Amino acid sequence: MRRSFVRALVRPLVLAAAATALPLLSMSPTSPTSSTTGALSALSPASAAPAGSVVIGSFPIDVSESPWTVALSSRDRFGGTRAGQFCGGVVIGRTTVLTAAHCMGEDVLGTSAKSVRDLKVISNRTDLLSNRGQEIPVRAVRVNPDYDSSSNAEDFALLTLAVSLPQSSVIEMAASGDPAYKPGTSAMVSGWGDLTGGGDYAHSLRATRLHVLSDARCQEAYPGGAEGVYVARSMLCAGEAGGGHDACQGDSGGPLVAKGKLIGLVSWGSGCGRAGSPGVYTRVSEVVRARHLDAWAGGPRGTGGGA
């Protein structure tokens, strides 16, 4: 599921930086690996498949069932196979996509995000091999200034699009205290990541159902060490007691949805679908909180403006 699953994940799923503030990155206007522990990582440019992983224990869905789910793409960095997909993202505003911060890191891209001249968001496309939907250039990238790659905490970034998407593609984010975060709540994660944990990447959108787990359960699974540490303020985890349902490599930055609201972004974990090692997600209520802080206040909300 993860970043790589870029320490890897240990896993950042790719699902794969500094804790200091980063400036807004302007993208070119000309265009419209992972280990299985730690943050899930995105595909590295040298990889044949995207970093981050495909959904384990999954079933096919049409993008119309999850219109906020988008693919991040760069053919220059990841080749034309699977349309250059390397991470997932979520539409939270007509020109704003939320993804994992590690997806925008040099560990994943092989260069700085501002140097990727063909970074695009693919929307309204179920099969990456088809010509359906839109490929929209990314106009600007803002990585959360509090993102910590060593702990995987605060793993999110905002992308500003050059073209607006329809309002029907936008999903509401769940704020702190929303019942969608309650342990035991049924949730769904979707993406184009690894289907088996063995590099079997999907070209059509897939999803799996799992349950939100308690912070105590997550802290027991990830108390600290090589696999990362669970930080309840900025993370949540989801899975099944016996494993088998999870995000995987190539799914990083994709949505975890419960009760019709976005509650998490695929971030990291230990392996894919392992019993006792649930997937760890960026807690979206932390995104809601952070967007009200000075670090994100340099421009209209959702535009990626500001320093």
The percentage of the chain sitting over the pLDDT mark of 90, rounded to a whole number, equals: 57
Provide the pLDDT confidence category of residue 187 given band limits of 50, 70 and 90: very high
C-alpha–C-alpha distance, residues 156 and 102, integer Å: 8
Among 94-103, 247-256, 279-288, which stretch is predicted with the lowest mean pLDDT?
Answer: 247-256
d(CA 36, CA 24): 30
The 10 Å Cβ neighbour count of residue 29 is 9
Tell me the per-residue pLDDT of 204-251, one tens digit each, with 9 for 90 and over.
Answer: 999 989 999 999 999 999 998 777 899 999 999 999 877 778 787 788
According to DSSP, the residues that pair with 10 across neighbouring strands are: 37, 38
Q: What is the mean pLDDT of the chain?
A: 79
Q: Is the pLDDT of residue 146 over 50?
A: yes
Mean pLDDT of 136-163: 94
Q: Is 192 helix (H, G, I), strand (E, B) or coil?
A: coil
Contact (Cβ atoms closer than 8 angstroms) between residue 2 and residue 52: yes
Residue closest to 159 by CA, chosen among 303, 13, 15, 262: 303
Where do the H-state alpha helices sit in the chain?
75-78, 106-109, 215-221, 284-290
Cα separation values, 60 from 18, 39, 127, Å: 36, 25, 10
* Residues with catalytic roles: 102, 155, 252
State residue 277's pLDDT score.
Answer: 83
